[in-house]
Amino acid sequence: MSTSAKRSGYHHGNLRASLLTAAMHLLEVGEPFSLRAIAREAGVSPTAPYRHFADRDALESALAVQGLRDLKADLSDGRELPASAAGLGELAVAYVEFALRRPALFRLMFGNACDEGNEERVQAAAEIHDLVQLAMKQVFPDGDPQALASAWWALAHGMAYLHLDGKLPAESSHEVADRVRAAFAAILSARTQ
């Protein structure tokens, strides 16, 4: 077989996108993955992934970037910024639903420290924080939006992991959503004595 024939067997118009698609598929179906397994899944040579990813950590960071972008899309898709405490609860419901719909990706996104050397990942994470911070400014104009955004994230993230880890079992997605709404309503309506 000629070299050009071999290459035509695994050529992709966008190799990086094909590799990320293959990696996301393996991740989401629970298959252990390596750069070699991803190459096999994408139908490319075992060395092809190294054109875009130095190692598995670089690939996982790229998957985290995609996950963060997908999460931001879920948080903002078809929604105005929340204008009420109830709206903040709905934003949290979207966050938890993402985690439950894509658990392996969610765990990969948040399972270890953000790769500060990956500008795309830092930017994608910052965009989510900025979105939540803007929502906090809108709902609590006199509050500290950065502290409020951190508190919102801590509660939403905690609810996501409590559900993922089976600590808060639920019969349906409606039960999960109701529980998240109730937690946010309780916190946001609580008054100090």
Give me the helices (H) in the chain, please.
3-10, 15-28, 35-42, 56-76, 85-101, 103-110, 119-139, 145-164, 173-189
- Report yes or no: 102 and 28 within 8 Å, Cβ to Cβ: yes
The ranges assigned to domains in the chain are: 1-53, 56-189
Q: What is the CATH number of domain 1-53?
A: 1.10.10
Considering the domain delimited by 56-189, tell me its CATH architecture: Orthogonal Bundle (1.10)
Distance CA 106, CA 101 (A): 9
Confidence of residue 12 (pLDDT cuts 50, 70, 90): low
What is residue 56's predicted lDDT score, i.e. its pLDDT? 87
Domains 1-53 and 56-189 share a fold: no
Structure token digits, residue 54:
């130095």
Q: What is the pLDDT of residues 55-85, one digit of tens each?
A: 888 899 999 999 999 999 999 988 889 999 9
Residue 89, pLDDT above cutoff 70: yes
Contact yes or no for 131/75 (Cβ under 8 A): yes
How much is the pLDDT for 34?
A: 86
Identity of the highest mean pLDDT range in 12-21, 57-66, 126-135: 126-135
Query: Which residues have a Cβ under 8 Å from the Cβ of 20 and sit 6 or more positions away?
Result: 62, 63, 66
For residue 11, the model assigns a pLDDT of 52
Distance CA 130, CA 52 (A): 29
Q: DSSP states of 102-126 as a string?
A: SHHHHHHHHSS---TT-HHHHHHHH
- Mean pLDDT for 114-120 is 79
| Polymer length of the chain | 193
- The set of residues, in sequence order, having a beta carbon less than 8 Å from that of 2 and lying 6+ positions away, is none
Higher pLDDT, 94 or 80: 94
- Which pair of tokens denotes residue 38? 């991803």
Contact 30, 104 (CB under 8 A): yes
